[in-house]
Amino acid sequence: MRIVSADTGGAVLDGAYEPIGLIATAAVLIEKPFKTATMSIVKYADPFNYDLSGREAIKDEVFLAIKLAKKVKPDVIHLDSSLGGIELRKLDDPTIDALRISDRGKAIWHELSKDLQPLAKRFWEDTGIEILAIGKDSVAVRIAEIYAGIYSAKWAIEYAREEGSIRIGLPRYMKVEIHESRIYGESLDPREGGLYGEIESNNEGIGWELYPNPVARTFMVLEVWRE
């Protein structure tokens, strides 16, 4: 089974360690033994001008996952939306109303599905690849989340080179290590069975520190600065 997934994460933090805006959407290709990605791509957002309602993220994720899927032809696409694994192309208004989710979640999906449902339908007709709203049960979604954190670290390094320093929040219970020519990241939850990721990055002349976010237990803060 070859799975493409996408997720958005990493946030610029304010002085109170609260998120200002998200940094990176990563799409990944996952293959057996499902512990890391065999390919990854990224799309950066502007964290200083970001809609935190979650609508922007899901759209970015669908577009980026389809972009990668066109290239690598996976068996299926996993989306970070926990709707019980339903196919995105089937998410019409009556189906959304029948979901066991909050009223707020339904309102968001009524709006999102206007664009995304026809897109998913067309993609499935062209390729036979389903886009499933499987969410937190998917290891592929979690690996995409870890890569979103790794790419956010890369973004932070580039930002610090220009601006001097920055403080970002990583996705839930993961850490990163910044080496001279690569960034390594891994899950801090051993129950997940050893999920990790790595990308190349020129990190010379950069200092960094990783520590728990005091107001968001199980989330880590990464500070990077130009040395």
Residues that bind its own copies (CB under 8 A): 1, 3, 15-17, 30, 32-35, 85, 134, 136-140, 142, 172-173, 175, 188-195, 209-218, 220
- Span from 3-11, 63-71, 111-119, 209-217 in contact with Mg ion (CB under 5 A): 3-11
Q: Which is nearer to its own copies, 13 or 157 (CB)?
A: 13
Kindly report each contact of residues 196-203 with a partner whose C-beta sits within 8 Å and lies 24 or more positions away, as own/partner. 196/35, 196/36, 196/146, 197/28, 197/36, 197/37, 197/40, 197/143, 197/146, 197/147, 197/150, 198/36, 198/150, 199/40, 199/147, 199/150, 199/151, 199/154, 201/153, 201/154, 201/157, 203/157, 203/178, 203/179
Count of Cβ atoms closer than 10 Å to residue 113 Cβ = 20
Angstrom distance (rounded) from CA 141 to CA 134:
9
CA nearest to 112, candidates 52, 50, 49, 62: 62
CA nearest to 142, candidates 194, 100, 91: 194
- Residue 189 interaction partner, one of Mg ion, its own copies, none, beta carbon < 5-8 Å per kind: its own copies
Q: Which is nearer to Mg ion, 138 or 201 (CB)?
A: 138
- Residue 220 interaction partner, one of Mg ion, its own copies, none, beta carbon < 5-8 Å per kind: its own copies
- Residue 7 interaction partner, one of its own copies, Mg ion, none, beta carbon < 5-8 Å per kind: Mg ion
Would you state the structure tokens that stand for residue 126, as one six-digit string? 């062209």
Angstrom distance (rounded) from CA 120 to CA 165:
40
**With binding defined as CB under 5 A, does residue 80 bind Mg ion?**
yes
**With binding defined as CB under 5 A, does residue 186 bind Mg ion?**
no
Q: Which is nearer to its own copies, 181 or 191 (CB)?
A: 191
Angle between helices 103-127 and 55-72 (to 10 degrees): 20
Q: Which is nearer to its own copies, 14 or 97 (CB)?
A: 14
Q: Which is nearer to its own copies, 23 or 132 (CB)?
A: 132
- Span from 28-36, 75-83, 130-138, 215-223 in contact with Mg ion (CB under 5 A): 75-83
- Residue 36 interaction partner, one of Mg ion, its own copies, none, beta carbon < 5-8 Å per kind: none
- Residue 195 interaction partner, one of Mg ion, its own copies, none, beta carbon < 5-8 Å per kind: its own copies
Binding site for Mg ion (CB under 5 A): 7, 80
